[in-house]
């Protein structure tokens, strides 16, 4: 660890580690790992709490692999799309979430993912609304055959992070993986299908929490990446330094391409909206969050990269004020 990162919370002087430990103690999440630094590299990092809390206790370490959930979207799927796809208006609508697709469907309940999206996905006229939708990234995934191999060959291997960022981690990696939910209860509630719990009724540990990615074989482009905080930092750093993509394309992708709309989006990236998580960031910042309790935000104005990985859905996906927690984390990180 490099430096404690001093600050205050609710008028009480504390370090970043104090703040995260306090959230662990009150049950916001079992554990957390973070990495904070600049385009040059990591300056502060640490691991606190537990990667697995039940049925056994395994401490979180800097080597812990977290289920990254939706930060897979910008770091992997968007990068591949920008590298390999023709950025025609349709692809751009998927990347900016302006395609008109509804937010989510339990695609694994249908015979074919693409048929299900075609028949049940459209909700608005394309271009009329910004609706953050997993379906957009499932469609992008369908355009990128051999997705996992492409991710390894075009992103993970060039950045030297194959050991610490992967899809479908082998069973041998399970001891270093943070567990998520016990059973598929959250998605069963979303779908109003209690019977879905029976499909995954044990501890989800070492396989992606997202049902659509799980039943697609480990990823459907919207989730599925497992990585350490250091690996996520390296992926973010590659954007900051335009290592995999031309600078002009990085700048376009991280700009607000949906001004004066319901949500601020670039190509695959979220932009600050004044929320509890981003009100302290400038307009040039960009980032993304993941349902499991993960986030990565990049602040070019102050050359900051801030990665926070938690497993806040373990052992159950109870309501947690993650936006507030992310906001305080960013204040410490800046």
If pLDDT is split at 50, 70 and 90, which confidence band does 197 have?
confident
Q: What is the Cα–Cα distance from 32 to 178, expressed in whole angstroms?
A: 10
Q: What is the Cα–Cα distance from 118 to 294, expressed in whole angstroms?
A: 30
pLDDT of the residue at 199 = 86
pLDDT of the residue at 3 = 37
Q: What is the mean pLDDT of residues 300-311?
A: 98
pLDDT of the residue at 2 = 35
Residues 6+ apart with CB under 8 A from 167: 148, 151, 218, 219, 224, 225, 226
Q: Where are the alpha helices (DSSP H) in the chain?
A: 16-25, 72, 79-84, 89-95, 113-120, 134-142, 147-151, 185-190, 211-215, 229-240, 247-253, 322-333
pLDDT averaged over the chain? 96
pLDDT of the residue at 198 = 82
Q: For tokens 């009480």, what's the residue?
A: 12
Q: What is the Cα–Cα distance from 248 to 282, expressed in whole angstroms?
A: 20
Residues 6+ apart with CB under 8 A from 265: 96, 97, 98, 130, 132, 256, 257, 258, 271
Q: Is the pLDDT of residue 9 over 80?
A: no
Q: What is the mean pLDDT of residues 129-148?
A: 98
Per residue in 26-60, pLDDT (tens digit) is: 999 999 999 999 999 999 999 999 999 999 999 99
Q: What are the chain's domains? A: 6-333 (3.40.710.10)
If pLDDT is split at 50, 70 and 90, which confidence band does 134 have?
very high
Per residue in 223-251, pLDDT (tens digit) is: 999 999 999 999 999 999 999 999 999 99
SS (H, E, C) 211-251: HHHHHCCCCCCCCCCEECHHHHHHHHHHHHCCCCCCHHHHH
Q: How many CA atoms lie within 13 A of 131 on its CB side?
A: 19
pLDDT of the residue at 10 = 65
Q: What is the mean pLDDT of residues 177-185?
A: 95
pTM: 0.96
Per residue in 63-89, pLDDT (tens digit) is: 999 999 999 999 999 999 999 999 999
pLDDT of the residue at 1 = 33
Count Cβ atoms below 10 Å from residue 139 Cβ, excluding itself.
Answer: 24
**Whole-number percent of the chain with pLDDT over 90:** 93
pLDDT of the residue at 241 = 98
Q: Is the pLDDT of residue 7 over 90?
A: no
């Amino acid at each position: 660890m490099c430096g404690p990162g001093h600050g205050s919370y609710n008028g009480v002087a504390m370090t970043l580690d104090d703040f995260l430990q306090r959230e662990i103690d009150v049950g916001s999440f079992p554990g957390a790992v973070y990495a904070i630094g600049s385009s040059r590299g990591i300056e502060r990092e640490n691991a606190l709490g537990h990667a697995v809390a039940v049925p056994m206790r395994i401490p979180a370490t800097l080597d812990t692999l977290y289920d990254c959930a939706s930060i897979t979207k910008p770091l992997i799927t968007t990068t591949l799309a920008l590298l390999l796809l023709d950025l025609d208006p349709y692809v751009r609508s998927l990347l900016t979430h302006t395609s008109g697709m509804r937010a989510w469907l339990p695609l694994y309940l249908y015979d074919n993912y693409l048929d299900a999206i075609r028949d049940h996905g459209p909700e608005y006229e394309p271009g009329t609304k910004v609706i953050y939708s997993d379906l957009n990234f499932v469609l992008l995934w369908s355009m990128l055959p051999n997705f996992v191999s492409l991710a390894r060959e075009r992103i993970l291997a060039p950045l030297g992070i194959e050991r610490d960022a992967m899809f479908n981690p082998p069973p041998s990696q399970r001891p270093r993986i943070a567990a998520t939910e016990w059973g598929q209860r959250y998605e069963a509630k979303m779908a109003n299908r209690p019977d879905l719990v029976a499909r995954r009724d044990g501890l989800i540990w070492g396989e992606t929490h997202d049902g659509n990615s799980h039943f697609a074989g480990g990823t459907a482009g919207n989730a599925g990446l497992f990585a350490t905080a250091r690996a996520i930092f390296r992926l973010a750093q590659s954007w900051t330094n335009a290592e995999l993509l031309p600078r002009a394309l990085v700048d376009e992708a991280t700009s607000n391409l949906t001004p004066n709309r319901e949500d601020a989006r670039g190509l695959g990236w979220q932009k600050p909206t004044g929320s509890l998580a981003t009100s302290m960031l400038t307009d040039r910042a960009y980032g993304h969050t993941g349902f499991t309790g993960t986030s990565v935000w990049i602040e070019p104005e102050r050359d900051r990269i801030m990665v926070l990985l938690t497993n806040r859905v373990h052992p159950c996906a109870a309501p947690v004020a993650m936006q507030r927690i992310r906001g305080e984390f960013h204040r410490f990180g800046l």
